[in-house]
Structure 1
C-alpha cells in the first residue's frame, strides 16, 4: 500500500484554471471590443460617404447630419468645402474610451 505524498498535485488543476480564467476573459473582451469597433467604423465610413454625396448635391446640412445619425447614433458630423470637393468628417465614441473617425469627400455639384 502506498501512502499519499504531502504537497502532491491534488488541486493544481483548479489553481491553474483560477489563474488562467481572468486572462482568457480579458482576451475575449478585447477581441469582442475590437470586432465591435471595426463594425462601427465600417458603418460610419459608409454613412460618411453617403453624406458627402448628399452634401455635394446641395442637400441641406440637417439632412446630411440625419443620414449619418441614422446609421451611427451619437456621431458628430462636420461638413467642409475643400476646393471642388465637399468633405464630411464624422466621429463617434467606441468601447474603451476611444473615438472612431471617418472622412469622405465628393465632387461639389455631383450627380
Structure 2
C-alpha cells in the first residue's frame, strides 16, 4: 500500500495555490488579446466601408455606417493621391485595456466618374 508521508500532506493544495494565479493571469492576457483583435477587425471593416462609400461620393451611406460605429470612435480622413483613406480610433471598453488605443486605416480609390 502506498502511503503518503506526513510531511507531504497538503503539498498538492500548496502547489495548486501557487499555480492558480499564474494560470488566471495567462487566461486574462489571452482573453484581452482576443478582445483587442476582434475590436481591430471590426474597426477595419467599418473603415473600409466608410472609405469606399466616401470615395464614391455616397456620403449618406457613409454617415449611416459611421453612426453604427458609435460616438467613442474618432475618425480621421486623408487623401493620398487617388486614394481616400479613413482611420478609425477607439479605446477598449474599460479596465487595464482602456490605456491602449486600437486603430484601423483603410483606403479606397476615389471615383472620378461624373454621375448624371
Q: TM-score range by the shorter chain?
A: 0.7 to 0.9
TM-score, normalization: structure 1? 0.81
Change (3 A) 1:65 1:25: farther
Q: The residue matched to 1:31 in structure 2 has which SS?
A: helix
1 CA distance for matches of 2:63 and 2:91? Answer: 16
Change (3 A) 1:80 1:63: farther
CA shift for structure 1 position 89? 0.7
Q: CA RMSD in A?
A: 2.4
64-73 or 96-105, which moves further after superposition? 64-73
Unaligned runs of 5+ in 1: none
Change (3 A) 1:107 1:91: same
Unaligned runs of 5+ in 2: none
Q: How does 1:1-111 map to 2 (within 5 A)?
A: 8-60=7-59, 64=62, 66-71=64-69, 74-94=72-92, 96=97, 97-109=99-111
Q: How many residues align?
A: 106
Change (3 A) 1:32 1:22: same
Q: The residue matched to 1:91 in structure 2 has which SS?
A: strand
TM-score, normalization: structure 2? 0.77
2 CA distance for matches of 1:65 and 1:98? Answer: 26
1 CA distance for matches of 2:102 and 2:112? Answer: 27
CA shift for structure 1 position 68? 3.6
Query: Do 1:85 and 1:107's aligned partners in 2 also have CA atoms closer than 8 Å?
Result: yes
